[in-house]
Structures are given as structure tokens and as C-alpha cells.
A and B are shown apart, each in its own frame.
Chain A
Amino acid sequence: MFPLVFFLLTWLFFFFNYFQHENYSVELVNRNFLFTIPWITIGVIIWFTIAWFSHSAMIRAATDSRPLQRNENKRVYNLVENLCISAGMTMPAINIIEDDSLNAFACGIDTKSYTISLSRGIIDKLNDEELEGVIGHELTHIRNRDVRLLIISIVFVGIFAFIAQALLRSMRFGSLGRGKKGGGGYAFLIAMVLAAVGYLLASLFRFAISRKREYMADAGSAELTKRPLALASALRKISVDPTIEAVKRKDVAQLFIENPGVEDKNRSFSLGLLFSTHPPISRRIELLEQF
């Protein structure tokens, strides 16, 4: 995970070095660059801190979920507890979303905030084995600290977006406009292109990470429960009705076990697939059945 972060970070610096190379008035660029960097860093740190501390409250508010007590639903509580015992994990908190459609997600970045949320629909409509498969999938997300990875990668995508913006602003108001006329415009273009490419690649990276983690969570669940076919049949039932009406925000939606945003399930390859946060359900079911 941290090598990943390091990779993105060095990539960031590479882009800046490249940029400086092309420019004629290097000193001016350096000055502008140094001027804007502290602001970007402060902005990112603030963003990060807010996300770190408040995200579970935000998610709970965004999805309208509430904590589940043991005596309220012993079946669910026991399923989660038993799975945690067999994995040697401490139990996360359990939340329930009062919605008839089937979906579930895991969130939380440290032992105190780990939470699994299940919708009322998924609790009622899946049998014990299938529900166990879904819970196993979410527990694996927690064990792999996927939400933390997601937040970090989103922040990095944000860094590139910020830089693109900051460059734009510094170009317009900075002293570069006073340099060689041709030189100034040329550098500006290069900067924009690089920032845009950086943003695009970072986004693709982030979506690829998200998809890979979904596969890993499926595999983890199959290993935990020793019943991959149960999760496969659960996914089949979920694919029929995963949209939770209350959730509109895309950021939260991608944490779910199935993201209803991707409509193109029939085409074997489409550009949209590169930008989807979840792999197509048919492929996930296929892989599980081969387990």
C-alpha cells in the first residue's frame, strides 16, 4: 500500500521535473512553483484530515443507516460474530440501512471506526449462507484496509486536480506572461497537458485499484466461508436490485458491494468499464464458480 503511495508521489515529482525541463525561463517557473506548492499541500492536508475524522459520520448521514443491536437481529449479529471469530478479527460495528434493495458496504479506517452496513433488503432476501458470503466480502475489505487505500488514492487524484487548477491560476496571474511571448504560451500549454494527463492516469489507476480490491474481497470471502458458490448466488440476487434510493452521491456509492452506476453489463469490453469502480457482476460470478 505504501509503495503505491510512494509510486504516485514520485510520479508527481517526475511530472514537475519534466515540466521544468521544457520551459525557457526556469527560474520564473521555480518561483511560481514554490509559491503555489505550500498552498496545495495545506489544502490537501486539511482535506485529508477532514476525510479521516468525519467520513463515517458523513457516510451514515448520506445513507441513513443506524447501528444494529444484538438482540434486535440475532441472526445477523451471530453470522458476523462467528465469521470474525473464524478469522481472528475483532468485530466491527454493524449498521443497518432501512431500504428494501439489496446492498452492503464496509467503511472505517481504524479499529474504532470499522463498520459494516447491510440493507434491510439484503438481510431479508438472502439466506444464511449467502448473507455469510456477503459479510465475508465486507470483512475482507476491512481486513485489507481498503477504505483507507481508497481515501488515499482519491486524495492523490485530488492532488493532480488541484495542481492543474493551481497551474492555471499561476500562469494567468504569475510573471510568466511577461517572459518571451512564445515561450510563455508554450509552457502554459505543456503544463495543462501534463496536468490533465496526470489526472487522467491517476483516475484510471484509482479505478483499477478499486476493481482489483473487489476481486480480492470476493476471493477473501470464498476463503473465509469456504463456500464460494453461496457468494455467487448472493451476487446474482443482488444484481437484480442494488440501487439504494437514498444514496445519490457517487463517492459513497462506490464503496458498495455492487455499484449500480455501471449500466453496460452486456458488452464484453467498453470504455466505461475502465472507469467503473466495480468489476462486472457476471465476471465476478464466473470467477467464484471456478474457485
Chain B
Amino acid sequence: MIVFLFLLVILFILLMMAVSIYNRLVRLRNNRQQAFADIDVQLKQRHDLIPQLVDSVKGYMGHERGVLTEITEARSNAMKATTIDEKIAAEGRLSNALAGLKVSVEAYPDLKANQNFMDLQNEISDIENKLAAARRFFNSATKELNVATEVFPSNIIAILFNFKRETMFELGDQRATAEQPPKIQF
């Protein structure tokens, strides 16, 4: 009788442990999903700022049609992208286009004196930094989830309830394009 009760208590304890591990996995997965959505917040802010930037530049950089059209096209591309890979590719193209603009602006001292333009430029730089920070957080949330799905006690629960190892934010195919310096057209 005593042995039976003892086993029951042990079973209860194990059950409690399993429940807490499962809950932890759920939290980690949701953290990662939120981190992913937060990246989109930054991306959207960038999309919203770009038309203003292009407008403020148009008057000065009439000859730099190429750079401006590239930015506008890249932006609409990014807003249309649906799958993750498409998004990564489109946003990468947009980042490149913006970097190209920054370089081209060097040739226009009048533009650099325009306070409005400098403010917008700083805002976009800040958004790029925030984007990087959001991606770093996404990666660390992914790492935590991956570790939890692989370490010993939790991997049992993970397999039982279908928690898989997830991918980090990686450049993948885009790495080759990203590693090239932005094109400078004069």
C-alpha cells in the first residue's frame, strides 16, 4: 500500500515537471514568433519613411534618376513580398538601394545642408540599427527555442508535442549580393 502511494507521488511529480517543460516550450515558441513580428514593425516604418526621403531628394538629385527609381522599385517590391525568402530578398535589395543613396549624396553639398533631408537620413539610419537589433533578438529567441528542443529533459516533451528546431535569420542566397559594396553611379 505504501509502495503504491509512493509511486503515485513520484508519478505526480514527473507529471508536474512535464507540464512545466511543455509550458516553457510554448513560451519560447511564442517569444520567437513575437520577435519575428517585431521585425516587420521596423520594416513597415522603413517603408513609410522612404517616400518622404525620395521627395526631399528629388529636387536636388535630378540627375540621379537611377538611384531614386531603384529605391522606389525596391520599396514596392518589398511591400508586395509574401514568403519569407521573398521578404528577405526584397528587404536586402532595399537596404542596398538606401546605402547607394547615402553614397551618392556625398556629391551634393547643398543636399547635406538641407536640415529636413539630414533628419530623414538619420531616422532611416536609426531604423536600420533598430532592424539589426530586432534581428539579433529574433536570433537569440530562436537559439533559446532550439536549445530547449535539444537538451535532455525537454527534448522528450518537444518530440512528443512537435516542437522543432527552427531557422535563424540568415542571408542565405542573398549573402553574395549583400557582401558586395553598394553600386556607385555618377
Contact = CB atoms under 8 A, between A and B. Distances in A.
B133 A74 contact: no
Interface residues of A, number: 9
A282 to B, nearest CB: 31
Interface of B: 31, 35, 38, 122, 126, 129-130, 132-134, 136-137, 140-141
Interface in A77-94: 78, 81-83, 85-88
B144 to A, nearest CB: 10
B177 to A, nearest CB: 25
Contacts of B35: 88
A88 B130 CA distance: 12
B129 A87 contact: no
Nearest to B131: A85
Nearest to B141: A88
Contact of A87 (B38, B122, B130, B137): B137
A82 B130 contact: yes
Nearest to A223: B140
Main secondary structure of the interface of A (DSSP, over half): helix
A86 B122 contact: no
Contacts of A82: 126, 129-130, 133
A236 B20 CA distance: 45
A82 B132 CA distance: 9
Contacts of B136: 86
B41 to A, nearest CB: 10
Nearest to B41: A85
A19 to B, nearest CB: 38
Smallest CB-CB A-B distances: 4 pairs: A86-B133, A85-B133, A86-B136, A82-B133
Contacts of B132: 86
B137 A78 contact: no
B130 A81 contact: yes
B134 A85 contact: yes
Contacts of A87: 137
A85 B137 contact: yes
A88 B144 CA distance: 13
A134 to B, nearest CB: 17
A78 B128 CA distance: 12
Nearest to A88: B137
- Most chain B CB atoms below 10 A, which of A82, A83, A88: A88
Nearest to A224: B136
Contacts of A83: 133
Nearest to A81: B130
Nearest to A83: B133
